[in-house]
Structure 1
Amino acid sequence: MQDYVRRILTSSVYEVAEETPLEKMQLLSARLGAEVLLKREDMQPVFSFKIRGAHNRIAQLTASERARGVICASAGNHAQGVALSATRLGIRSIVVMPTTTPVIKIGAVRRLGGEVVLFGDGFDAARAHAAELAEQHGYVVVHPFDDPDVIAGQGTIGMELLRQHPGELGAIYVPVGGGGLAGGIAAFVKFLRPEVKVIGVEPEEAASMKAAIEAGHPVALDQVGLFADGVAVRQVGTETFRLCRELLDDIVTVTADEICAAIKDIFDDMRAIAEPAGALALAGLRRQVERGEAPRGALIAINSGANVNFDRLRYVAERAEIGERAEALLSVEIPEQRGSYRAFMRLLGQRSITEFNYRFAHGSTAKIFVGIKLGRGDTEKREIITLLENHGLKVIDLTDNEVAKLHVRYMVGGRVNDLEDETVFRFQFPERPGALLKFLEGLHDAWNISLFHYRNHGADYGRVLVGVQVPAETRTDFIAHIDAIGFPYWDETDNPAYRQFLDHERA
């Protein structure tokens, strides 16, 4: 730690970076009953903390290294830091970015003077290509996290925090991708104030540091979710793993819905829009406070960045209320007779309905898909379910059902009679121009598509619900075929949302 403290105190970050404010979140603090503060790294010149580490590394280059030029692989924030720093110092910069990178980040890198090369569906493919280019052309690689100078640059945030909040401090929540930010902050904070907890936060779908610590060494995840693209790293670094294993007090994982809720919290309090990775730490802070697991004292979350495509906010807004447990999604069976809808609404009283989907079907019962606004989270949801069940109505809770949230709510009523051998799968593929066509071309004509729902959420990957008629004797061949397509998938044939609203057998 002494070496890192020395590097942090002598770093060059303030030649281009700024000391960002630490601001209290008044609304969230009142709601949680805890003092919550936000470190505003979204206010850096490149709207991300990454400028700190990138410049501290590039500033250390020798004259001969500067003449060779620098190269990096990045989903966007590190790329902008490298481009700005290199341009300020008169150095050529090449930036390899995944093809899934938000357009706003690609444009920003180019405006800052970086030469952009788009390659691969994720960070790891881009990193491998950058390494090849560096080998071919002699560029100096500026690693996004696993480099002592980069780690020290990010660690200057820890130095600022202890100066900005010298009083009682319970914990600092830090987003974790490759681990450079968490390692740098922890090295400084634990050296001066070892009683302060430093807690890493990862998305459940990209928890590479948690997996590494559990295994005792860095491991490569089979796949990572790309929603929080700034932390979508399959394998953490060797040095960052060493630091995080020694210095982090805990690692919290959160869902995409919880991240969306945290983005909304930041907007409500600060009138600022965070990118998903930027709100990650606050989502972890909220989870620990709500579960009674947060330490006493002030709680700080790092808002690591604000580089987000505007159209992605559509997805964020849709999922935020579910993430903060402010909406319940329910399947309810009511009598298929006149007046049933009115009677159902009377049971709910003055509660706000966010969604109501219904289509007539022959039979004695009607299945409705209903969204209900909640003021008291899961407690109120359980009360509503109990109320409905006590009046003889069959209820299925779909609030956390991905198929219901992503697809079925837009498809209620689409039943077909006499449809045989239907099997339903949910697919996920990187969202970019032509991706849907590529997916469709991968499906073989030997099996008939009986259901298809795709919706562009303005997010990072496309989500498709596909029904295919697969006779039992060809199922093995079909599974082998979709395995070969190469996209992650889930068999949803037994999903209750599908069974209730789309399956012909249950009509």
Structure 2
Amino acid sequence: MSLAALPVRLADIEDAAALLDGVIDRTPVAHSRALSRLVGTEVNLKAENLQRAGSFKVRGAYVRMAKLTAEEKARGVVAASAGNHAQGVALAADRLGITARIYMPMGAALPKVAATRDHGAEVVLHGDAVDEALAEAQRHAERTGAVFVHPFDHTDIVAGQGTLGLELLDQIPDVDTVITGVGGGGLLAGVAVAVKARAEQLGRPIRLIGVQAENAAAYPPSLAGDALVTLERVSTIADGIAVGKPGQLPFSIIKELVDDVVTVSEDSLAQALIFLLERNKLVVEPAGAVGVAALLDGRLQERYPDLGSTAVVLSGGNIDPMLMLKVIQRGLSAAGRYMTIKMMLTDRPGELALISKVIAVQDANVTGVDHTRIGGALSMGDVSITIDMETKGHEHCRQVLRALEAEGFHPVVVH
């Protein structure tokens, strides 16, 4: 299919950019020396986590709502989201003077709920997943006449998100590969139209790669079968892309323009988030870190040895501090920098002191100890001990375990 035949075209995205002028921030591009060295090619990060409301979502939401008629604006809008689209709609509604009702799943991060309310929207918690909140938002629209603002399945939403692609090419005109996360597909579809249309004008190819969390990856099977696939279960720390079914409109664009959609594990996501914190000083939510995760785990380099100048979109930075604590711990554990072990001991003086000495000699740092004599699995005279410690990598972890085993202990790694 030609670019001119697609439901969203470059002209639509350019019109959207004009609407957004003065409304959104032109987010910076940061060169990542650390990631470039690891990957073996130049890597730049499009820091959309620094966008107003903390993500790219305000782009599409504002464009969709700015184009409503006066009568539609008077009826108000309704939307559903785990957080980023919610904040984008709430911010756009505040700028445009439109009342907004947002349905969010019961487990939505408290900071995202609070931020949505702070922008003036009414928040209603409903269901355990985004798909349930979406269904309820659509029912509300049918009952009341409020305009439903879909998070990704609308031409104006896709055009608005595509403005990020125009910005990116203005900032990195020689880019060869663009990588971005994908949930429902609005961002990837919009960026694909912008990037491929500009590539056609430049007369050179630009590769587009989407990345999904492997526990919320509906696009690979949908693309393979050329039909929308609904996942039975979605479970990922990347709540911003935890979507069980692609949008029909984005799917129709992505299958024509996007070169590949790959997946990453939860551990890879956690390590990517820590990498961005430590090496690039950027706070990014898991959904925004999926592109970096795909580079860090090496799969993309294996599939595409010629990535060339690469741009990764960091699509959002709205992360619950409590989730950040869990993700950091998981990421450190996956990198061998944090280890928890459990052992059964004989309850006699000196055992704990010996264990502490062994760990100290190996230059590991104990951060927590749980020592109990009570439990159904414990025999009289036994003690269960759980030890948390900071380590220096996988080989160091193995070194600590070998040292404990040499003293007659039988440590089991919990994580």
Return the TM-score normalized by structure 1. 0.69
Residue 184 of structure 2 aligns with which residue? 178
Tell me how far apart the structure 2 counterparts of residues 141 and 307 of structure 1 sit (CA, whole Å): 23
* Distance verdict in 2 for CA 1:368–1:59, change over 3 Å: same
Tell me how far apart the structure 2 counterparts of residues 370 and 112 of structure 1 sit (CA, whole Å): 44
**How much does 1:62 deviate?**
1.9
**How much does 1:144 deviate?**
0.4
User: RMSD value over aligned CA atoms?
Assistant: 3.4
Matches for 1:440-479 after TM superposition, within 5 Å: none
**How much does 1:323 deviate?**
3.4
Tell me how far apart the structure 1 counterparts of residues 299 and 80 of structure 2 sit (CA, whole Å): 36
Note if contact 1:259-1:283 (Cα within 8 Å) is conserved in structure 2: yes
User: Which shows bigger deviation, 279-288 or 94-103?
Assistant: 279-288
Highest RCO, 1 vs 2 (Cα 8 Å, sep ≥ 6) = 2
**How much does 1:176 deviate?**
1.0
- Say which SS state the counterpart of residue 39 (structure 1) adopts: strand
Select which of 203, 219, 236 maps to 2:229. 219
**How much does 1:138 deviate?**
0.8
Note if contact 2:371-2:385 (Cα within 8 Å) is conserved in structure 1: yes
**How much does 1:358 deviate?**
7.2
Note if contact 2:288-2:316 (Cα within 8 Å) is conserved in structure 1: yes
Matches for 1:57-72 after TM superposition, within 5 Å: 57-72=64-79
Matches for 1:366-445 after TM superposition, within 5 Å: 375=392, 377=394, 380=395, 384=399, 398=413, 404-405=414-415
Residue 18 of structure 1 aligns with which residue? 25
Residue 79 of structure 1 aligns with which residue? 86
* Distance verdict in 2 for CA 1:354–1:385, change over 3 Å: closer
Tell me how far apart the structure 1 counterparts of residues 58 and 138 of structure 2 sit (CA, whole Å): 21
Residue 290 of structure 2 aligns with which residue? 280
Residue 195 of structure 1 aligns with which residue? 205
Note if contact 1:351-1:373 (Cα within 8 Å) is conserved in structure 2: no
Note if contact 1:274-1:307 (Cα within 8 Å) is conserved in structure 2: yes
Select which of 34, 42, 47 maps to 1:35. 42
Matches for 1:187-266 after TM superposition, within 5 Å: 187-193=193-199, 195-266=205-276
- Say which SS state the counterpart of residue 195 (structure 1) adopts: coil
- Say which SS state the counterpart of residue 200 (structure 1) adopts: strand
**How much does 1:17 deviate?**
1.2
Q: Which string of whole-angstrom CA distances, capped at 9 and with x for unpartnered residues, describes residues 62-110 of structure 1? A: 2222222211111121111112212222222221111211121222222
**How much does 1:26 deviate?**
3.1
Note if contact 2:405-2:411 (Cα within 8 Å) is conserved in structure 1: no
**How much does 1:351 deviate?**
4.3
Q: Which string of whole-angstrom CA distances, capped at 9 and with x for unpartnered residues, describes residues 235-293 of structure 1? A: 11111112222222222222223222222222223433222212222212222368644
Note if contact 1:259-1:323 (Cα within 8 Å) is conserved in structure 2: no
Note if contact 1:278-1:303 (Cα within 8 Å) is conserved in structure 2: yes
The answer to whether the aligner puts 1:318 opposite 2:324 as a matched pair is no
Q: Which string of whole-angstrom CA distances, capped at 9 and with x for unpartnered residues, describes residues 149-189 of structure 1? A: 1111111111111111122x342221111111111111222
Tell me how far apart the structure 1 counterparts of residues 39 and 412 of structure 2 sit (CA, whole Å): 26
Note if contact 1:72-1:130 (Cα within 8 Å) is conserved in structure 2: yes
Select which of 121, 132, 153 maps to 1:125. 132
Identity %: 34
* Distance verdict in 2 for CA 1:392–1:162, change over 3 Å: same
- Letter of the 1:10 counterpart: D
**How much does 1:227 deviate?**
2.1
**How much does 1:299 deviate?**
2.5
Note if contact 2:364-2:389 (Cα within 8 Å) is conserved in structure 1: yes
- Letter of the 1:277 counterpart: A
Tell me how far apart the structure 2 counterparts of residues 218 and 151 of structure 1 sit (CA, whole Å): 18
Aligned residues, how many? Answer: 397
Q: Which string of whole-angstrom CA distances, capped at 9 and with x for unpartnered residues, describes residues 330-366 of structure 1? A: 6789999988985997699644255677778779x99
Residue 306 of structure 1 aligns with which residue? 317
Q: Which string of whole-angstrom CA distances, capped at 9 and with x for unpartnered residues, describes residues 362-399 of structure 1? A: 79x9997666755555xx3696499679969898874x
Tell me how far apart the structure 2 counterparts of residues 116 and 340 of structure 1 sit (CA, whole Å): 51
Return the TM-score normalized by structure 2. 0.82
Select which of 104, 110, 133 maps to 2:117. 110
Tell me how far apart the structure 1 counterparts of residues 154 and 96 of structure 2 sit (CA, whole Å): 20
* Distance verdict in 2 for CA 1:121–1:362, change over 3 Å: closer
The answer to whether the aligner puts 1:5 opposite 2:10 as a matched pair is yes
Residue 91 of structure 1 aligns with which residue? 98
Unaligned runs of 5+ residues in structure 2 are none
Note if contact 2:48-2:313 (Cα within 8 Å) is conserved in structure 1: yes
Unaligned runs of 5+ residues in structure 1 are 399-403, 406-507
Tell me how far apart the structure 2 counterparts of residues 25 and 186 of structure 1 sit (CA, whole Å): 23
Tell me how far apart the structure 2 counterparts of residues 138 and 145 of structure 1 sit (CA, whole Å): 20
Matches for 1:337-352 after TM superposition, within 5 Å: 350-352=362-364
Q: Which string of whole-angstrom CA distances, capped at 9 and with x for unpartnered residues, describes residues 406-462 of structure 1? A: xxxxxxxxxxxxxxxxxxxxxxxxxxxxxxxxxxxxxxxxxxxxxxxxxxxxxxxxx
